[in-house]
Amino acid sequence: MSELLVKQEIRKRGSFSEFARKSGLHVSSVSQIVNGRLRPYPGQVEKIVETLGWEGDPASLFHEVEDTEVA
């Protein structure tokens, strides 16, 4: 099963609601973005990158990767 890398990175750092609070984004926006239902605006991408402390290519956060969570 695959998911967006941004979802994995946020999950590593805690909950989506905590991330939303830290980033200044609405929790429903974060949920829609990490589940691939909403393409983030450039300003949202900047907030996500900054809050994650992401040093790689921001576009890579929105590519699908294998789900690393163990069921």
Is residue 47 situated within a structural domain? yes
Domain membership of residue 58 (yes or no) is: no
One digit per residue, the tens of pLDDT, for the chain of length 71 reads: 789 999 999 999 999 999 999 999 999 999 999 999 999 999 999 999 999 999 999 999 999 998 765 44
Domain-embedded: residue 63: no
Q: Range of 8's domain?
A: 2-53
Q: What's the number of domains the chain is made of?
A: 1
Distance between CA 43 and CA 67 in Å, rounded? Answer: 26
Residue 17 lies in a domain: yes
User: What local confidence, expressed as pLDDT, does residue 2 receive?
Assistant: 87
3-class SS of residue 25: coil
- Residue 62 resides in a domain: no
Between CA 12 and CA 67 the distance in angstroms is 12
At a CB cut-off of 8 Å and minimum separation 6, what does 8 contact?
65, 67, 68, 69
CATH (domain of 13): 1.10.260
What confidence score (pLDDT) does residue 69 get?
58
Q: Classify residue 61: in a domain, yes or no.
A: no
